[in-house]
Amino acid sequence: MREQLEQIKNNALAALEASDTPAALEEIRVKLLGKKGELTAVLKQMGRLSPEERPAMGQLANNVRAEIEAKLEQRKAAIHASVLEAKLAAEAIDVTIPGEAIPVGHQHPMNQVLQQIKDLFVGLGYQVVDGPEVELADYNFTRLNIEEGHPSRDRSDTFYFTDDDSVLLRTQTSPMQIRFMETHKPPFCMLAPGRVFRKDEADATHSPMFHQIEGLVVDEHITMGDLKGALTTVMRNIYGEDSVMRFRPHHFPFTEPSCEMDMQCHKCHGTGEIDGQVCSTCHGEGWIELLGAGMVHPKVLENCGIDPEKYSGFAFGMGLERMAMGRMKINDLRLIFDNDVRFLNQF
């Protein structure tokens, strides 16, 4: 019996050592220690031993059982640890690997220029305001001293909503002059950027929707010198201190005198041609029109309840797309509205 027990122990320890899964361990446990197990079978034979032999054999059997159980626990723990280790190795995360960069967009080139222009005028003390795109003809034309029958009122130029031509999509931001003067007393400096609409076929320099930035300054003793000073300061800031500007006489019904401000073409530098070809940016003009401006017409001041004997002012309106095209050397207006990322990513 002693040999039998030794045999069982040695076989068990070797088998346990060799097994490497929880299932294999369990199989061995049942085979040895289970109700019908080998060790159990040996223990059942104890009754046949003499009373002298029994305690020593019982002791030995218990030791064998204890050793097997201890080994079983030890292997269980070892297998559990190695399974865990393998799992951890397989699922390991290297926190030092750089993450995947998320692409971050940026402002549209036109908004970049708008922001720059707003910042410059705010720095000069201007207040930025917003107004309706659906406008009354009264504000868009009549109170701006644009008489009935003026070509800009034509149905072929303007989008009207009503048969009596009283409601329209504003063709300019100038109605904001009227809206602002109705609700504010001079002195003031205001800037009103926004969308405007005209029945224009889209080409490299035209779009039925574009953006203007209106400016209006009213106070006592405002002169053409103030107009030139403010606009020159801003334009030099945008296009560079060495950019060449000129003021050219013009006509607008709501300003008197009126002018247009031009900048020398950045493509052909005023010559109007590149390599013997007509410059496509300024169409051979050598100059690019930046904006219309002038001294607020006394009738317009009067229309808004401001005494033209006491107050004077200047106003200007610039095309934002045109500014962006000049600033960023873009030669086709349609690129600004296409929103092709291959184009936008360049700015």
Any contact of residue 234 with ligand PHE (CB under 6 A)? no
Residue with tokens 């220690």: 33
Q: Is 283 in a helix, a strand, or coil?
A: coil
Q: Which of 140, 142, 207, 255 binds ligand PHE (CB under 6 A)?
A: 255
Q: Which of 121, 252, 287, 311 binds ligand PHE (CB under 6 A)?
A: 252
Any contact of residue 172 with ligand PHE (CB under 6 A)? yes
Q: Which C-beta is closer to ligand PHE: that of 197 or that of 252?
A: 252
Q: Which C-beta is closer to ligand PHE: that of 174 or that of 264?
A: 174
Q: Is 3 in a helix, a strand, or coil?
A: helix
> E strands, 267-337, where?
273-274, 277-278, 287-296, 312-319
Residue 46 contacts residue 58 (beta carbons within 8 Å): yes
Spatial separation of the C-alpha atoms in residues 23 and 210, rounded to whole Å? 77
Site for ligand PHE, residues 173 to 202, rule: CB under 6 A = 174
Site for ligand PHE, residues 61 to 100, rule: CB under 6 A = none
Any contact of residue 317 with ligand PHE (CB under 6 A)? yes
Q: Quick one: CA torsion of 227, 233, 235, 237, rounded to 10 degrees?
A: -160
Q: Which residues pair with 252 in a beta bridge?
A: 255
Q: Which two tokens stand for residue 25?
A: 């361990």
Q: Which residues contact 314 (CB under 8 A, 6 or more apart)?
A: 216, 217, 222, 224, 226, 227, 230, 255, 293, 294, 295, 296
Least Cβ distance, residue 158 to ligand PHE (angstroms): 12
Q: Which of 57, 218, 231, 293 binds ligand PHE (CB under 6 A)?
A: 293
Taking each helix axis as running N to C, give the angle between helix 320-328 and helix 109-123, from 0 to 180 degrees, rounded to the nearest 10: 100
Any contact of residue 315 with ligand PHE (CB under 6 A)? yes
Q: Which C-beta is closer to ligand PHE: that of 194 or that of 292?
A: 292
Q: Which C-beta is closer to ligand PHE: that of 190 or that of 315?
A: 315
Any contact of residue 312 with ligand PHE (CB under 6 A)? no
Name the residue whose CB lies closest to ligand PHE: 317
**Count, residues in the chain:** 347
Any contact of residue 292 with ligand PHE (CB under 6 A)? yes
Choose the stretch contacting ligand PHE; rule: CB under 6 A; options: 55-63, 64-72, 227-235, 312-320.
312-320
Reading phi first (left if > 0) and then psi (alpha if -120 to 50, else beta), residue 318 is in beta
Any contact of residue 207 with ligand PHE (CB under 6 A)? no
Q: What is the DSSP letter of 21?
A: S
Choose the stretch contacting ligand PHE; rule: CB under 6 A; options: 68-76, 262-270, 309-317, 327-335.
309-317
Any contact of residue 139 with ligand PHE (CB under 6 A)? no
Total residues binding ligand PHE (CB under 6 A): 10
Q: Which two tokens stand for residue 77?
A: 């723990």
Residues that bind ligand PHE (CB under 6 A): 172, 174, 252, 255, 292-294, 315-317
